Amino acid sequence: MTDTLDLYTLDTVVQELKDIANDNGIPQVYRDWARDGIAYAGRNNPGIYVFPQNIFSYCTVKEPMPGRVRELVEGILLQEIRHGNSSAANDLGELYYDGRIGEQSYRKAMDYYMFSADRGNEDAYVNLGYCYFYGRDGEPDYDKAYDCFIRGALTGDIRSLYKIGDMYRYGLHVQRDERQARNIYSHCVDMINQAPKPEHDRLQDECGADVYVRYAECFLFGIGGRTDAWIALSWAQRAEQGFRKKALDGDSFAKEGIRRAVNVISMCRNELDRLTDDSSVLS
């Protein structure tokens, strides 16, 4: 039953989409989103939450949305949240986290993540874990981060799992155990490689670079096991490629990943040059 306070119905949303689709001042990707939404509504009788959900796949660049698009997306999400939609709260949190809603605010992002997590949304737990781990709204809280990541890892979330690997690697909340960290990173690599398409591609884009650079560092520095500069170089190059793709998609955090991967590649090449020189002397 529709709440008497609801401003958005399928009819009003479709009309807004038509206005956006015909607005030449709005970037083409958002007009395509609007046109496809109109066509989808004509073939189906969807709930209005489907429209802000879809904008994440159309608009991958993490930059502020045009005003008309932002007002529609935020309005629908807030209406859905009022009706207890935990996924909508997590979505709005992500928009505040990235600044795509027109304002970048970790505090507001965490408030929506908490609302969503309290209602059982597993993605919100993962997002909260990152906020606690990096201290997005103050000092890091590794105890809370670990609790969130454990919950995410139990659902098979690779982002949560490799962060638990980080916590073992550096001894955050748990006792330092580099072998355990390496085993976790290795398991994450296997999970990506063994996933069927298109899940493999999604995981590769979402977290492949982060996993690969950590795995490369294990082989370069001997974290939790043997060293092998050749293997390290291979994984670091894959990581750099993945980070560069994320950077092109507007991920501001990917630039640090690029620097990290490039640094590992440089160190691998130096080590391989040294081994080549040593081999030449021996021959």
Per-residue model confidence as pLDDT tens digits over 199-246 = 999 999 999 999 999 999 999 999 999 999 999 999 999 999 999 999
For residue 72, name the pLDDT band (cuts at 50, 70, 90). very high
For residue 182, name the pLDDT band (cuts at 50, 70, 90). very high
Helices (H), 50-141: 50-58, 67-82, 86-98, 106-118, 122-134
Q: What would the mean pLDDT of 254-282 be, rounded to a whole number?
A: 88
Identify the DSSP state of 196: P
Which residue is associated with the tokens 């309290």? 118
Q: What would the mean pLDDT of 132-141 be, rounded to a whole number?
A: 94
Please report the pLDDT score of residue 63 as a whole number.
84
Per the document, the length of the chain is 283
pTM of the entire predicted model = 0.87
Residues 6+ apart with CB under 8 A from 131: 97, 106, 109, 110, 113, 137
Measured CA to CA, the distance from residue 200 to residue 131 in angstroms comes to: 26
Res. 2: pLDDT tops 60: no
Please report the pLDDT score of residue 279 as a whole number.
61
- DSSP reduced 3-state for 136: coil
